[in-house]
Structure 1
Amino acid sequence: MIIQEVIDFLEETTPLAYAEGFDNVGLLVGDTNNVVTGVLVTLDTLEEVVQEAIDKNCNLIISFHPIIFQGLKKLTGKTYVERAVMKAIKNDIAIYAIHTALDNSFQGVNARICDRLGLTNRQILMPQCHTIQRLLTYVPEKDADSLRQKLFEAGAGNIGNYSECSFNLKGIGTFKGNEQSHPTIGIPNKFHQENEVQIGVIFPKHLQKNILKALFLDHPYEEVAYEIYTLENQHQHIGLGMIGELPSPMQEKEFLSFVKENMQTSCIRHSALLGKPIQKVAVLGGSGAEAIEACLAKQCDAYITSDIKYHEFFKAENKILLADIGHYESEQFTKMLLWEQLKEKFTTFALYLADTNTNPINYL
């Protein structure tokens, strides 16, 4: 099995199309055609992690965070980033990062936090826009049912709990081919009218390649007329953060102790206690101060995240309990999530969870 096959699986379950625009995800180092000798799953790819991959005969590192975030102009070994990359290249080890693609997944980073806390009735905190596209195409009436079905099979027409959704209009299409044309219907140099159906279907943007492949393979015309639009609709299963509910309300101090134990963090920085029970909880792994307003708008009782700055705690406005549990601590279970997904799929090579602790923050 080659590295590309592992990448294909990862990107099928967690499409990179939904990573944030600022991010650097995907294959960062290495040759996708190399045969996999072993895979090491880690939160961060440091020089020590690359050495662990070497020791365990792994030539592919699946990392949550990208070791290369901004452009590298030099590789001299002067920084921890350069040293990790140079060591990987010298030992023919590929590095793949998934980061905010997994942050935005409904079964990703925030779902794992919800699992740890037993939160139910989950929904995305900040649904992502511009993730849904619409295809319009025009096909002879007699071919409409067949083409529509092929588009459905390619992944089009799914809306929430419904599948095979489309909108269809009947009309008259016209065309005239030149001397080099080979029309399926009609003859060259002669004006032709055909009873056609306009088929409209929506699909998640990461499936555009599959949808167009089905369109071109199954459309009867030599020249296929089609249009693709990006819609403003939010995708309710793609986006940052997640909201869920505790099985029963907790008092604030009880809740903070519960979070501290289940998220395995040694301390929690939090906003003022308000004397209100906690049941509706928002979570966002990693830096999440940007979502405080969204938590307030959705009337959450508490918000668990990390990297909240001093002045950002004021945004609680005495309406919500903000809990900063630490960046590493909020994402530490992510590598187990990735490992479990890979373990279920692949059995032909060794698959390891990194032993190296990459948390750069220590507490006294």
Structure 2
Amino acid sequence: MDLREVVSALNDFASPSLAEGWDNVGLLVEPSPPHAVNTLFLTNDLTEEVMEEAVQKKADLILSYHPPIFAPLKRVTWGTWKERLVVRALERRIGIYSPHTAYDAAPHGVNNWLSKALGACTSTPLHPSTAPSYPGEGTHRVEFCTGTEHLDAVLSKIKDIQEVSCLTTFPARVEGEEQTRVSLNCSQKALLEVVALLSQNSLLYHKTEILLLQKPLLPHTGMGRLCTLSEPVPLSDIVQRIKQHLRLPHVRIAVGRGRTPESPVKTAALCAGSGSSILKGTKADLYLTGEMSHHDVLDAVANGISVILCEHSNTERGFLSELRDTLGIHLQNKVNIIVSETDRDPLQVV
């Protein structure tokens, strides 16, 4: 498949618009076209060791969950390891694509996979995502009532304003008088012109309502998950389930105040990676994430919430095996998809 065709399919699988505003997602390194993708190489972190593996396995495109290019590069030399990744990729004609928080938010993404560690449960996003665009044109809705003597003149002037849409009129009765209610959508820029026009007539201006349109929430999409287990499970059993799901011999646990390892867990808030900002303030029996600050753990424990930490990338990496199978179907099995064997969390328990 052509690189652009693959990237289009990846964007369709989980739109980059779902990513957080601070993130750097999408196609980060592009070899000169045309560029065919026969082998797609999946990794959680693109290190120099992982890059060497990708080269050896003749990868044409690397999907690195974490973006290897995050802070802007002022130069591309052999001086730093991230610059060397770019040099190596371009020399070997390997593209680099990163989904990161777009996969965190997606309904079929990383957090959904992590929730399977808890067993049978239902889940909702902790921070729901909004649609990338408004349901209709414009960001604001303006409504006002006017008598027939002003209607034609006002409508004529409004129609001359650019970025005004959905202009409709319908009869209305105001204080016993027959009038016409006018409704329109407009952009922020057009709103200033509409308000300036209406302010020329004090009667119109004082009867004007301005509504800020909201982008609709996307179902089952967003950062983190609040999971409700089908039945309460002892904390010690949850620990074993998580270790088995993540294939880890050890996790770190802080038992909430007033709780014990045998205390039942009915609700769990989780966030793959670093979850402090997403989980903070959420009421649950358990927090599950990769890492949290010492003080955020203390706060949770003081509020009776137990905390399980598995190290940052350990809560993400296992998703790649599921992703491999899902993308195989999404790409119609036209691309060979492999998961890195070198990629691992840099922290080890000794």
* 2:285 aligned residue: 301
Q: Does 2:63 match 1:62?
A: yes
Match of 1:22 in 2: 22
Confirm or deny: 8 A CA contact 1:134 1:229 kept in the other structure: no
| Residue deviations 1:98-125 (CA, integer Å, cap 9, x gap) | 0011111121110011223324222111
Residue in 2 that maps onto 1:356 = 342
Alignment partners' CA distance in 1, 2:334 and 2:251? 42
CA spacing shift, 1:118–1:239, aligned 2, 3 Å? same
Letter in 2 for 1:76: T
Q: Which amino acid aligns with 2:73?
A: L
- Provide closer, same or farther for how the CA distance between residues 177 and 315 of structure 1 changes in structure 2, counting only shifts above 3 A: closer
Stretch moving more, 105-114 or 249-258: 249-258
Percent of aligned pairs sharing the same letter? 28
CA contact (8 A) 1:64 1:334 kept: no
Aligned to 2:312: 327
Check the 8 A contact 2:117/2:241 in 1, yes or no: no
Verify the 8 A CA contact 1:132 1:235 in the aligned structure 2: no
User: Would the alpha carbon gap of residues 198 and 303 (structure 1) be closer, same or farther in structure 2, given more than 3 Å must change?
Assistant: same
* Cα separation, partners in 2 of 1:199 and 1:230, compared to 1, 3 Å: closer
C-alpha distance in 1, partners of 2:293/2:42? 30
CA contact (8 A) 1:36 1:59 kept: yes
Alignment of 1:68-217 (within 5 A): 68-128=69-129, 131=132, 133-136=134-137
Q: 1:176 to 1:262 in 2, by over 3 A?
A: closer
Q: Residue 223 of structure 2: which of 209, 229, 240 is its match?
A: 240
- 2: CA distance, partners of 1:348 / 1:72: 34
Superposed displacement of residue 231, structure 1: 1.1
Partner amino acid for 2:43?
Answer: T
Q: Is the 8 A contact 1:43 1:63 kept in 2?
A: yes
Name the aligned partner's letter for residue 55 of structure 2: I
Give the TM-score of the pair, scaled to structure 2: 0.73
Q: Confirm whether residue 285 of structure 1 aligns to residue 272 of structure 2.
A: yes
Contact 2:2 2:34 in 1 (8 A): yes
1:134 aligns to what SS in structure 2?
coil
**Runs of 5+ unmatched residues, structure 2:** 139-150, 161-181, 186-210
Deviations 1:5-55 (A, max 9, x none): 111111112111121111111111113641113111111112222222222
Instruction: Give 1:267 deviation, angstroms.
Output: 2.4
Deviations 1:189-236 (A, max 9, x none): xxxxxxxx9898xxxxxxxxxxxxxxxxxxxxxxxxxxx975165444
**Contact 1:46–1:358 under 8 Å retained in 2:** no
Tell me if the contact between 1:131 and 1:234 (Cα under 8 Å) persists in the aligned partners.
Answer: no
* Preserved CA contact (<8 Å) 1:26 1:98: yes
TM-score by length of 1: 0.71
Q: Give the number of aligned pairs.
A: 289
User: Which residue is 1:261 aligned to?
Assistant: 244
For 1:3 and 1:232, the matched residues in 2 are separated by 32
Map Cα deviations across residues 104-161 of structure 1 (whole Å, 9 max, x no partner): 1121110011223324222111223575513149xxxxxxxxxxxxxxxxxxxxxxxx
Change (3 A) 1:311 1:332: same
